Copies of this chain bind each other. A is one copy, B any other.
Amino acid sequence: MATTTRAQKEALPFRRVTPTRRGQRPAVALGRLNGHLGYFVRRAQIWIFQDFIRTLARIDISPAQFSVLIVIGANHGLSQIEIAAALGIERARLVRLLHRLESRALIRRLPSSADRRRHALQLTPHGRTVLALAKTLAARHEKRLINKLGAEHHQFLLDTLRDF
């Protein structure tokens, strides 16, 4: 918003400011980019993550941390490799994510009964409390998305993007 005056300031009046859809985009042609879904998916992802991060800023939970906490909370003693596979992240990266969550006392790594190579992951009581709050804030974020897109479009996006 309020970025619509950029062009006028420049050399001479010859730079026509086309009134773009939301007054956000400058008068620069995107050419073939307009037909490429990847470009718009990327921009949408950035927008959504920024809103998510802002909404959960006071409990300092990132989208990645949120997804890990949700999956640990919704399952029973998962191993790290199972979580990594479910969320499509590298197991090496998950190690660092879990270190942080463990150092904040949100999760615990218990020895797995069956296989001593594995850890069985759990939320701590404090982790459950924080996750509950995170869910409330995340729902607020999602409501903002629903308002922006309309409930049907939101649901359609959810259904369609699940295929990836």
Q: A residues engaging B (CB < 8 A)?
A: 1, 3, 6, 9-12, 21-22, 25-26, 28-49, 52, 63, 67, 70-71, 73-76, 78, 82-83, 85-86, 88, 114-115, 135, 138, 141-142, 145, 148-149, 153-154, 156-158, 160-164
**A37, B145: Cβ atoms closer than 8 Å:** yes
- Measured between beta carbons, the chain B residues less than 8 angstroms from A70 are 30-33
* Residue contact A88 to B37, C-beta cutoff 8 Å: no
Assembly stoichiometry (copies): 2
Closest to A64 in B: B42
State which of B30, B47, B67 has its C-beta within 8 Å of the C-beta of A74: B30
Which B residues lie within 8 Å of A31 (CB)? 70-71, 73-74
| Identity of the chain B residue whose Cβ is nearest the Cβ of A154 in the assembled complex | B37
Contacts A142-B36, A156-B156: A29 and B75 contacting too (C-beta < 8 A)? Answer: yes
Please state if A38 and B52 are interface contacts (CB–CB under 8 Å). yes
Q: Which residue of B lies closest to A79 (CB)?
A: B10
Given the known interface contacts A45-B41, A48-B41, A67-B33, the answer about A26 and B162 at a Cβ–Cβ threshold of 8 Å is no
